[in-house]
Amino acid sequence: MITYTTKVFRIRYTETDQMGFAHHSHYLNYFEMARIEWLHSIGFFYAQLEKEGIVMPVVSAAIDFKSPAYFDDSVRIILTLKTMPTARIIINYQMINEEKKEIAHGSTTLAFLNTQLNRAVRCPDRLLDLLQSL
C-alpha cells in the first residue's frame, strides 16, 4: 500500500457556500490537487504524460462527507493507493483538518487513455516502475 500526505492548504473564501462550509463541488478539485502533488513528489509529471498522448480521465468518483470544513481551515489530504494500476488506477483520499478530524473521504478511478486511438491502454511502464520502487 502506498500512502502520501499533502502539504497543508487552506480553504479559500470563494470555496465556501452560504452556510460557510467548503462547498461539496470543490472536493473533487482537492482530490485532483492531491493526486497531482503526489505524482510530482514521486517524479512523475502528468503534463509530460499528456504530451506523450496518454491522458487519465476520471471514470468514477465517490465522496462521503463527515464534518464541514470552513473558510481558512488548514487541511491535508491523505492519499492511498492499495493496488497497482492496470488499465486503471484507483486512488483513495481522506481529508483531515489540523486536529486530524476527518472532513471527508472518497475515491477516484482513472483510466489510462491513448488520445490517438481513443481507447484504454495499460498503465505506462514508467509510472508502474516508479510505484513498484516505493
CA distances from 22 to 7, 57, 70, 72 (A): 18, 24, 6, 10
pLDDT at position 50 is: 95
Cβ-based neighbours of 46, under 8 Å, separated by 6 or more: 36, 39, 56
Domain count, the chain: 1
- Report the mean per-residue pLDDT for the chain: 97
pLDDT at position 39 is: 97
Mean pLDDT of the 38-46 span: 96
Domain housing 20: 2-132
- The pLDDT tens digits of the residues spanning 95-127 come to 999 999 999 999 999 999 999 999 999 999 999
Task: Return the closest-CA partner of residue 38 out of 86, 80, 74.
Answer: 80
Name the helix (H) or strand (E) containing 35.
Answer: helix 27-41
CATH code of the domain containing 106: 3.10.129.10
